[in-house]
A and B are shown apart, each in its own frame.
Chain A
Amino acid sequence: DAGVIQSPRHEVTEMGQEVTLRCKPISGHDYLFWYRQTMMRGLELLIYFNNNVPIDDSGMPEDRFSAKMPNASFSTLKIQPSEPRDSAVYFCASSFWTGSGEQFFGPGTRLTVL
C-alpha cells in the first residue's frame, strides 16, 4: 500500500484565495483525520470522519474551513477565504478504528498564505 497520499505537498497562495487540500487514505481504513501543525500550537485535530461521515468537527477553527469526504478513498479540506494565519502544515491520517487503531499519517501539505 502506498500509505496516506496528500496533495499538493506545497501550496503558496494570496490572502483571500480559496485553497483545497486533498487526501487519499489507506485502502480499507474506516477513519480519516485532518490535523494542523503550527509552531505556536503544535499538532491539533481539526475534524475526523468515520465511514465518510463527519463525526467531530469541533477543532475546525472557523466557518472559513470546511471538509468533505465524498467516498471512502477521497477527502478534501477547503479554506475560503484564506488568511495569513492559516499558514501551517496540514496532515491527513487514517486508521482502522479510532478506539485502538494505530493512526498513519500522510506527508502533509505545507500551506503559505501571503
Chain B
Amino acid sequence: KQEVTQIPAALSVPEGENLVLNCSFTDSAIYNLQWFRQDPGKGLTSLLLIQSSQREQTSGRLNASLDKSSGRSTLYIAASQPGDSATYLCAVNSGSRLTFGEGTQLTVNP
C-alpha cells in the first residue's frame, strides 16, 4: 500500500526566503507525482505534475524534482511571498488513484 509523507507539517518564513518542501513515498512504482495548493476552505489547485520519467518541472517561482528510485520529491519555492501562504499537498499516482500526503502548512510573513 502506497504511503506518502510530507515534512515539515508546518513552516513559517519571512517574505523573500527560498524554501523547500519535502515529500516521500514508499512504493516507487508510480505514474506521476502532483503538487497541489489548498487555501483555507477552498479546493485544490494543481501546481505541477511530474511524470515518472521526468526529473523536474518548473513553473514560475516553483520547481519540483522527483527521484523515483529513492521515493522522494521536493517543491522549491523561490523568493516567497505572503500570497504563497497555503497548505501544499503532494500526491502520488500509482495508476488507479492519487495517494495524498498530509500536507505542509506554509505561512509567509510580510
A-chain residues with CB within 8 Å of residue B96 when the two chains form the complex: 48, 55-56, 98
* Count of A-B residue pairs with CB < 8 Å: 55
B positions within 8 Å CB-CB of A: 31-32, 34, 36, 41-46, 49, 51, 89, 91, 93, 95-98, 100-103
Q: Are A100 and B43 in contact (CB under 8 A)?
A: no
Partner of A107, one of B43, B95, B101: B43
Given contact pairs A42-B100, A43-B100, A45-B98, A104 touches B93 in the complex (Cβ within 8 A): no
A100 touches B31 (CB 8 A): yes
Tell me if A45 and B97 are in contact (CB < 8 A).
yes
Count of chain A residues with Cβ under 8 Å from any Cβ of B? 23
List chain A residues, Cβ under 8 A from B51: 100
Contact partners of A98 in chain B: CB under 8 A: 31, 93, 95-96
Residues facing B in A38-69 (CB within 8 A) are: 42-45, 48, 55-56, 59
Which of B43, B49, B95, B101 has a CB less than 8 Å from the CB of A106?
Answer: B43
Q: Find residues 20-52 in chain A having any chain B CB closer than 8 Å to their own CB.
A: 33, 35, 42-45, 48
Given A44-B100, A98-B96, A99-B95, output 18 extra A-B contacts at Cβ < 8 Å. A42-B102, A42-B103, A43-B91, A43-B98, A45-B97, A48-B96, A48-B97, A91-B44, A98-B93, A99-B31, A100-B32, A100-B51, A100-B93, A102-B32, A102-B34, A103-B93, A105-B45, A108-B42
